[in-house]
A and B are shown apart, each in its own frame.
Chain A
Amino acid sequence: MIDVALRDTPLNLDECARFVSHPSCGGLCFFVGNIRDLNLGQTVTHLEFDAYDPMAIREMRKIAGAARERFDLYAVALHHRKGDLAIGDAAVIVAVSSVHRAPAFAGCEFVIDELKKTVPIWKKEFREDGSHWLNARP
């Protein structure tokens, strides 16, 4: 079971937990990526996420599917925000479930690591001294 979402409204951890819960699963693992107030020593005021929606959804589905196969997970929920986000907002939630805890931990880490490599979503950081797209330039 896979649930993927890309939304401009707040993400909901309970919703993800409900989706991955199952009587057969003793291990549920979650990763929540929040917007933090400092990056490289600079104060961040807010962030803006741009996304190529149809391809982002497609890539997120691929990653969730790969994680299920590779770690024998029961379910994967992968929700990402887009638009303007404030400090403390959740930008991404990964929720996975499996019979035991080890594959849940490993699968959860795999999903967020792969998302950061391939999913076409871009973060623009706004600081007191200006704004820039992250990771774009050497």
Chain B
Amino acid sequence: MKITCFGIAREIAGGPSLDLPGVEGATVADLKHRLIAAYPALGELISFAVARNEVYARDEEVIAVGDELVIIPPVSGG
């Protein structure tokens, strides 16, 4: 499943998105663990969130086919 990356996550992933297979049906918490396993540098950030369909996702949410997933590293706007 394609996961879009912004900010420092783009540098960690080495591009504007990454691909993790078999994410459908997993929880957001599972997804975060798998992301850190695949990209340990994500675990070195202060924190990171996952957006699901343009809204911050809670850890217990279950990922469905067709979801738009985005890694949100610590924001620094303003």
Chain B contact residues, CB within 8 Å of chain A:
4, 6-8, 10-11, 44-46, 51, 54-56, 70, 72-78
- Do B46 and A55 touch (CB < 8 A)? no
- Do A136 and B77 touch (CB < 8 A)? no
User: By the criterion of a CB under 8 Å from any partner CB, how many residues of chain A are at the interface?
Assistant: 29
- Do A135 and B78 touch (CB < 8 A)? no
Chain B residues whose C-beta falls within 8 Å of the C-beta of A80 in the assembled complex: 77-78
Instruction: Decide if A112 is an interface residue (CB 8 Å cutoff).
Output: yes
Chain A interface mostly helix, strand, loop or mixed? mixed
7 contacts between A and B (CB under 8 A): A50-B7, A51-B6, A120-B72, A121-B77, A121-B78, A136-B7, A138-B44
Chain B residues whose C-beta falls within 8 Å of the C-beta of A50 in the assembled complex: 6-7, 10
